[in-house]
Amino acid sequence: MKKIFFLLTSTIVFSAQQSFAQKPDPAATEVWQPEPKIVTTSEANQTPSDAIILFDGKNLNEWLSVQDNSPAKWDVNNGVFTVKKGTGNIQTKKSFMDYQLHLEWQIPANITGTGQGRGNSGLFLASTGKGDDGYEIQILDCFENKTYVNGQVGSIYKQSIPLANASRKPGQWQTYDVIWTAPRFNDGGDLLSPARVTLIHNGVLVQNNTVLTGGTVYVGKPTYKKHGATPIKLQAHGDKSEPISFRNIWVREL
């Protein structure tokens, strides 16, 4: 009995000592530096204070014609700009690596056509050439308009099917919010890390940190070709349907 009592007491004493010595200190896991920078938004203007404004409703001063680097020729009217077919793709003057992008677009209410020929445009997350070279997030009227699913709105064209179809009716404004991580290459041009993208369409997650297998191609398999910082590009697609419009575009470099 005495032995048991001794064992019991010594266990209690030992445990007490141990818990005193190893008492977890919450402060030991608190990190105070570096402090995240302060970025503000307001109810009136939701554009983050550190965003680069790519279109403020007034002009296309931040954009160039991809073909010849002349000023972008798409039409600006009433705070929005509209694809001018036949003048080709446009891209930003500035180049970017990793970023957060906000973009709003509208399929015209009187849209006609079917499949890929109905309000087709595209957001090239990195423009790597004069044509449709880069990594295209499809823009298309997919409100009751069927097409191949890896080419529908919110897809990474011919690479990744969107998780949902969040399309609004033609005539309504729609939003894209993108988080883009550019691919990295070594000096020899070998891929070190692939591109990744998260896309939220009208508030709905449609690409969740999707890993890209290369640049978008219309025919064949995507492959990577070395590039660094690049412009962001918008597509003037060659189909015959009514041209789509854009407004309120901003980007935050990461």
Residues that bind Mg ion (CB under 5 A): 120, 122, 235
Residue placing its CB nearer to Mg ion in the complex, 62 or 141:
141
Least distance CB 213 / Mg ion (angstroms): 18
Residue placing its CB nearer to Mg ion in the complex, 47 or 165:
165
Least distance CB 116 / Mg ion (angstroms): 8
- Residue nearest Mg ion (C-beta atom): 122
Token duo for residue 242: 């009514």
Least distance CB 140 / Mg ion (angstroms): 6
d(CA 67, CA 70): 8
- b/e per residue, 91-111, with b = 16+ CB within 10 A? bbeeebeebbbbbbbbbbeeb
Least distance CB 151 / Mg ion (angstroms): 8
- Residues 107 and 119: beta-carbon distance below 8 Å: yes
Residue placing its CB nearer to Mg ion in the complex, 92 or 120:
120
Least distance CB 99 / Mg ion (angstroms): 20
d(CA 207, CA 156): 8
d(CA 87, CA 66): 9
Residue placing its CB nearer to Mg ion in the complex, 147 or 235:
235
Residue placing its CB nearer to Mg ion in the complex, 122 or 215:
122
d(CA 121, CA 67): 17
CA distances from 70 to 57, 87, 88, 89, 115 (A): 20, 11, 11, 12, 32
